[in-house]
Homo-oligomer: A and B are copies of this chain.
Amino acid sequence: MTQSNTQQVTNEATAPTHVNGVNLDTLKGTVNAIHEDPGLGVCHFRATNQWVDGAHNRSTVTGFYGAKQEIAHKQTFQMVADEPAILAGNDDGANPVEHLLHALASCITTSMVAHAAVRGIDIEEMESELEGDIDLNGFLGLNSETPKGFTRIRANYRVKAAAEDMETIKSLASFSPVMNTLVSGVPVEVSVTPK
């Protein structure tokens, strides 16, 4: 009996519950639930934004819809945007395109870390530098043929992990929702109503 219990403990210790800081029991629970009922995967993510003044505005995130229910974040998140002086702002926050680069960096990072965890791939350290190209002739309306958005983004990751896992880790970036949104494009519907 004692031996049996000891064996059981050893088995649990053999199957780690955390890899790369990701709780695999929780993640696999979500995966299994959506596998059994695909409708649980439908999510609506949300942000509200309040214009403050000039280029200064503030977004608030409180919760989202997923798993067929409204889910509140455990706290309210606020993000501030502004523009540097050259773009007539007060430089009191990163600007919108810099926030976009943060969204992309954080999403690729999380996607590689989580999907590596599920595959049992240990990652010790990960950092990245992102850079995107914009020609202000577009945004400022000086040349109608100049694209107004990013024309190219480079995301350079440095990862401390086993050499044989590097190619797999890189391939996992392909799961990133933000990267897929940016590469494929997405319809954006804008409405303006009187306040």
- Interface size of A by CB at 8 A reads 133
A30 lies within 8 A of chain B by Cβ: yes
Convert A40-82 into 0s and 1s, putting 1 for each residue whose CB lies closer than 8 angstroms to a CB of B: 1111111111110111110101001011000101110101010
Indicate how many identical chains form the complex: 2
A193 lies within 8 A of chain B by Cβ: yes
Given A71-B84, A74-B91, A142-B31, the answer on whether A49 and B102 have CB atoms closer than 8 Å is yes
List residues of A whose CB falls within 8 A of some B CB.
20-24, 26-27, 30-31, 34-35, 38, 40-51, 53-57, 59, 61, 64, 66-67, 71, 73-75, 77, 79, 81, 83-88, 91, 93-111, 113-115, 123, 125-143, 146-161, 163, 166, 169-170, 173-195
